[in-house]
Structure 1
Amino acid sequence: MSGGLIALLDDVAAIAKAAAASIDDVGVAASRASAKAVGVVIDDTAVAPRYVTGFTPDRELPVIWKIAKGSLRNKLAFILPAVLLLSQFLPAALSPLLLLGGLYLSYEGAEKVFAALHGQADDAPEDAEPLSAQAQEDQMVSSAVRTDFILSAEIMVIALAEVASQPLLNRALSLIVVALLITALVYGVVALIVKLDDIGLRLSRRRLGVTRALGRGLVRGMPAVMSTLSIVGTAAMLWVGGHILVTRLESFGITAPEHWLQRLTEATTQAAPFASGVAGWLTETVVSALVGLLVGLAVAILIHLLHRHRSAART
């Protein structure tokens, strides 16, 4: 009887070890997948604050909370089942999806660069009827959640590519962890950014001179922070989009771009051995961003020509 009990305890211990190893695998896979998706996360963080501009301070955090819930619903209810089904029954679709995602990110980044250089007209009609505060809030939340869907899909597909070799359960758990972490990170940072000016205003009213100076610096510095964040977000889109294009073309037998990038990176690291890691990363990032910009501009030009052709055909 004692021998049977010991054997049972051994089995339980083995199961516990296997479960712990599985949890470790999920944690490692989720962290690796999250790191790969960081470029889209930066852009998501840069895009989100503009959806709460114009609201009173007491509505900013509730609006962010609504968008965060919509983002999590996008990831868990719609995107996660779709990408898991694809990875299980049609894994060959992963590379084309990533390539399309890279094209989209490159196009969006190039459009932002073009808009920054040439200005962007306001498309709202002048005779539009003013909306109530609640209707405006609902409209902004709906628009933000729709934009988030595209970026969340990119995050989940990029994350899936990093855990595609894992068993189905580990894949699902890893992507759930990624969805929770990314959503908390993005909208936690967005909430902090949106409230920094309020924090600065409160600090500027304190008696201590250093605290007052810090508060005034936060209030004055917020426009620059938002501008910088927008630039970083655009650069991240171009970098991630270009990098996806360069690396995923190999799946279609086009290996020259990735080999060329590797040779250029190696040459840069050899030229600067004292900072080889930084030099290699900068080279890969800048080249990927340039690829993303050029491809994005080509896609943008093609789309604008198609729109113009359709408009001419209708008239």
Structure 2
Amino acid sequence: MDDIATVLDDVAILSKVAAKKTAGVLGDDLALNAEQVSGVKADRELPVVWAVAKGSFLNKLILVPSALVISFFAPWMVMYLLIIGGLYLCFEGVEKLLHKFIVSKQEDEQAHAEKLKALADPSINLADIEKDKIKGAIRTDFVLSAEIIVIILGTVAAEPFTTQITVLSLMSIIFTIGVYGFVALIVKIDDLGLYLLRKSVSGSFDKLQRFTGRALLRFAPILMKTLAVVGTAAMFLVGGGIIAHGVPFLHHFVEHSVDVVSVFPTVGTIAGSLTGIALNGVIGIAAGLLTLVTLTTARKIKGALVN
């Protein structure tokens, strides 16, 4: 019983650490899935969320055993996979930032209008569009799930193999239920607001109900935008932190900078934490830009060679 209690205690502690390290990726996962699921008919939103959730469980069923095999036979690969995943996060974050700065609001609105026009076309099969949305969301989930699992694996890499299995399996199930539970809640917030506005009651409760309905309708788009911003920022912080931890000279630079700032009385601890976060963000942005430039150059060279 003592051994079981010790193992469960280790699992609980490691699960908390893994949850903190993957918080940024989870935020991005939540925002991306909520964005991809939106746009379908209101009565089809929850079935689509459920279909994507089932695909996510299947992704985890593939990824968790694969991660465990790598950890058992080639543990040295974990750090390299973490760095690759961190570079991917930073690259994706830079793409989002550049999209906001390069693509004008008018172009975004025009693309949205063309999408609505296509959906109104009776010759288009909405069931096919829904299937494409589900497939796209599951592909996105596979990439982000792989990143989450690699981060968790990096957290428990030094632990016994049974503990690795337990933590990976437990966190995969909890994360999937949590993410898609929140996605289902997010996509139905506006429907709840409309329901409260349309439902007629008498008395002072009617004013409260209508106020709540209007508040929910205003809150839904704000929540989506906030999730997108937080998710993008988290990409740089998490990705930059992973890269800084995996590259020795960057790791020492961040640690030394934090130590230098932390010596100040009273505010030293807070200043040190903020310095570490800021440096991880800067490293993340720099790594994302470098990855983007490298990939763009490689594509141009490949195109030139082909032509």
Paired residues, what number? 293
Corresponding residue of 2:300: 308
Q: Aligned partners of 1:230, 1:146: CA distance in 2, in Å?
A: 19
Q: Which has the larger radius of gyration?
A: 1
Deviation at 1:309, TM superposition (A): 2.5
Q: Aligned partners of 1:300, 1:105: CA distance in 2, in Å?
A: 11
Corresponding residue of 1:238: 236
1:22-61 → structure 2 map (5 Å cutoff): 22-61=7-46
Alpha-carbon displacement from aligned partner over 1:62-99 (angstroms, at most 9, x marks no partner): 11111111112111x21111111111111111111111
1:64-213 → structure 2 map (5 Å cutoff): 64-75=49-60, 77-119=61-103, 131-205=124-198, 207=201, 208=205, 209-213=207-211
Q: Aligned partners of 1:243, 1:98: CA distance in 2, in Å?
A: 10
Match of 1:91, SS?
Answer: coil
Distance 1:195 1:90, change over 3 A: same
Match of 2:39, SS?
Answer: coil
Q: Which letter does structure 1 place at the counterpart of 2:141?
A: D
Q: Which letter does structure 1 place at the counterpart of 2:43?
A: D
Distance 1:201 1:274, change over 3 A: farther
| Sequence identity (%) | 36
Deviation at 1:275, TM superposition (A): 4.5
Corresponding residue of 2:291: 299
For structure 2, list consecutive stretches of 5 or more residues without a partner in the other structure: none
Q: Aligned partners of 2:35, 2:118: CA distance in 1, in Å?
A: 23
Distance 1:205 1:265, change over 3 A: farther
Distance 1:68 1:280, change over 3 A: farther
Q: Aligned partners of 1:57, 1:82: CA distance in 2, in Å?
A: 37
Partners of 2:35 and 2:224 within 8 A in 1: no
Greater Cα shift, 278-287 or 188-197: 278-287
Alpha-carbon displacement from aligned partner over 1:94-126 (angstroms, at most 9, x marks no partner): 11111111111111111111111111876x999
Match of 2:168, SS?
Answer: helix
Alpha-carbon displacement from aligned partner over 1:118-153 (angstroms, at most 9, x marks no partner): 11876x999999641221111111111111111101
Deviation at 1:186, TM superposition (A): 1.1
Q: Aligned partners of 2:74, 2:50: CA distance in 1, in Å?
A: 35
Q: Which letter does structure 2 place at the counterpart of 1:236?
A: A
Match of 1:204, SS?
Answer: helix
**TM-score in terms of structure 2 length:** 0.88
Alpha-carbon displacement from aligned partner over 1:138-177 (angstroms, at most 9, x marks no partner): 1111111111111101100100111112221211111001
Corresponding residue of 2:272: 280
**TM-score in terms of structure 1 length:** 0.86
Match of 2:159, SS?
Answer: coil
Greater Cα shift, 198-207 or 134-143: 198-207
For structure 1, list consecutive stretches of 5 or more residues without a partner in the other structure: 1-15, 251-255
